[in-house]
Amino acid sequence: MDQSLLALPDDALVRVLALLPPREVFRLRLVCRRLRDLSLHRDVWRSVGLSGGDKGLLQAALRLAPCLREVTLLSPDLQAAACTVFNTKCVVTDLKLSVQNETDAAWATAIVQRFSTLGGLRDIRLYLHRAAPEALHPLLLMVYGVQDLSVLNVHIHSDMSQLPPLLSDLEPRPSLTVLAYLGAAPDPFLCSLLRTHAATLEDVVLFLADGLPTSLLGSMPRLRSLWCRLTDDLSQLKSLSDLDSFGLLDREVQDVPCPGTVDFLLQGPRLRTVEFDFEPNHPILGAALLEALAQSPSAPVLERLSLHGVQDSLVAAALQRFPSLRALALELDAMPSDDFFRAVSPASTPRLATLQLVPHRCPHAWLHDPAVQDVLARNAGLHLRLSGPPTLEDDCACRWCLWRCHRDELRTHAGLQSAFSAHTRRPGCPGDCRRWLWYV
């Protein structure tokens, strides 16, 4: 080992150790007493994430390391991890568990209990597959009782409507700020979470097959962001005056107007970020929602708009009604029309700084398309981003790839992930701003 490394002061050496893979850190423990001690410093481990797939490494970390940022355990890993966790003193910040059956649920309950007892657990992600509600009840009760939890993400693929009440000996303090929940309906576990953490919740994502707990959502004074499926129940949330971001995600929705959602948009809060994510070819639904948004109190202040499944002709006609729009993402199953590109102009979108589109055909050729070049040339402050992430094919036969124009540049690490514009980078531009103007 290079002795100059050992000449570093302790704080500098700890920063070096924090850059190494965990397995290398454990090997360095054998070099000398100083490295043995410094390799177990909290700052070496606080950013490390491990999974049950690294069985030996995870067991060593749980026995020796003072803390870990993240531990991920899938179904086959739960029993071995539970046995190791029983005596651990390692504080884990983020915990991800995948439970397949009733036995997994028992092991997962023991794991959550131990990490909760140690303190420091702030983020839990549960993926609960087909299992009986009575088997999941102890696990959900244990998760519900974790103190000072900030983020909870739950995917439940069982019907939990018959779940027994969550009666905990120690009622948790309100602490959750982010809750994402995928389930069949507003079951007792979800309702308990919303009721207990109503005072602190800020971001809520609810993908429920049936219904929306509007009475509980309406009582949250700090709610800023809401994602849910399309439902008429949304009309009951018009009083959420502080809601800033709103998203709709529903891949099974029918192409008909949803009066409750339309009413929410027309008379609800002044939203600055809106996202609609549907399957393509929903012109009736897309038109109803976009028109409601354009007529709503949100229209003058809307800054970010993301649309999937809404026709570009509808977007082109509505753009001028969003004068504060700074970012627009549009996902289509075909190249945007010339009418759409012409609608993006300093007159209709004076503050638009980012336009994100899906490149159809070769992204290299797409970037050279006259309509793309024209929209950049006419909008001096615009940055174009490609959704994807896009890639270049080795055997692409488009003329631009055959000519090798920019091809090597676009294959670099930044490459197609750049923010393409008609100007060189200047103050206020993204760090990856790249001038792209090639008249054809």
The pLDDT assigned to 155 comes to 94
Q: What is the DSSP letter of 170?
A: S
The pLDDT assigned to 35 comes to 86
Say yes or no to pLDDT of 399 above 90.
no
Task: Name the percent of the chain lying above pLDDT 90.
Answer: 60
Angle at which helices 188-196 and 133-144 pack, to 10 degrees?
Answer: 10
Structure tokens belonging to residue 321: 């009604």
Give the mean model confidence (pLDDT) for residues 138-167: 86
Give the mean model confidence (pLDDT) for residues 178-196: 91
Mapped onto helix, strand or coil, the DSSP state of residue 319 is: helix
Rg (CA), the chain: 26
Distance CA 261, CA 236 (A): 10
- Quickly count: other Cβ atoms within 10 Å of residue 323's Cβ: 15
Please state which of the ranges 3-7, 360-364, 436-440 shows the lowest mean pLDDT: 436-440
The pLDDT assigned to 405 comes to 78
Structure tokens belonging to residue 120: 């420091």
Paired strand residues for 97: 73, 126
Say yes or no to pLDDT of 438 above 70.
no
Distance CA 102, CA 433 (A): 51
Distance CA 120, CA 97 (A): 17
Q: Are 373 and 346 in contact (CB under 8 A)?
A: no
* 168 — pLDDT class (breaks 50, 70, 90): low
* 2 — pLDDT class (breaks 50, 70, 90): low
* Per-residue model confidence as pLDDT tens digits over 52-111: 888 789 999 999 999 999 999 998 999 999 999 999 999 999 999 999 988 999 999 999
Paired strand residues for 51: 72
Please state which of the ranges 111-125, 126-140, 344-358 shows the lowest mean pLDDT: 126-140
Q: String of b and e for 269-299 (b: at least 16 CB within 10 Å)?
A: bebbbbbbbbeeebeebbbbbbbbbbebebb
Give the mean model confidence (pLDDT) for residues 29-44: 89
Give 81 or 135, the one with higher predicted confidence: 81
Q: How long is the chain?
A: 440
* Per-residue model confidence as pLDDT tens digits over 261-315: 999 999 989 999 999 998 877 788 889 999 999 999 999 999 999 999 888 999 9
Q: Backbone phi, then psi, for 92, in 5-degree steps?
A: -110, 135
Give the mean model confidence (pLDDT) for residues 374-378: 94
* 251 — pLDDT class (breaks 50, 70, 90): confident
Q: Backbone phi, then psi, for 193, in 5-degree steps?
A: -65, -45
3-state secondary structure 191-242: HHHHHHCCCCCCEEEEEECCCCCHHHHCCCCCCCEEEECCCHHHHHHCCCCC
Compute the 3-state secondary structure of the chain and give helix, strand, coil in percent, each to the nearest 5.
Answer: 35, 20, 45
Structure tokens belonging to residue 5: 């490394």
The pLDDT assigned to 170 comes to 66
The pLDDT assigned to 440 comes to 42
Q: Cα 393 to chain center, whole Å? A: 28
The pLDDT assigned to 210 comes to 83
Give 403 or 318, the one with higher predicted confidence: 318
- Quickly count: other Cβ atoms within 10 Å of residue 250's Cβ: 20
Q: Which of 312, 313, 287, 315 is nearest to 302 (CA)?
A: 315
Say yes or no to pLDDT of 158 above 80.
no
Structure tokens belonging to residue 166: 């969550």
Angle at which helices 259-267 and 283-294 pack, to 10 degrees?
Answer: 20
Mapped onto helix, strand or coil, the DSSP state of residue 61 is: helix
The pLDDT assigned to 391 comes to 83
Q: DSSP string spanning 98-133?
A: EE-SHHHHHHHHHHHHHHHHHS---EEEEEE-S--H
Say yes or no to pLDDT of 130 above 60.
yes
Give 392 or 317, the one with higher predicted confidence: 317
- Quickly count: other Cβ atoms within 10 Å of residue 377's Cβ: 12
* 143 — pLDDT class (breaks 50, 70, 90): very high
The pLDDT assigned to 316 comes to 94
* 188 — pLDDT class (breaks 50, 70, 90): confident
Cis peptide before 174 (omega within 30 of 0): no
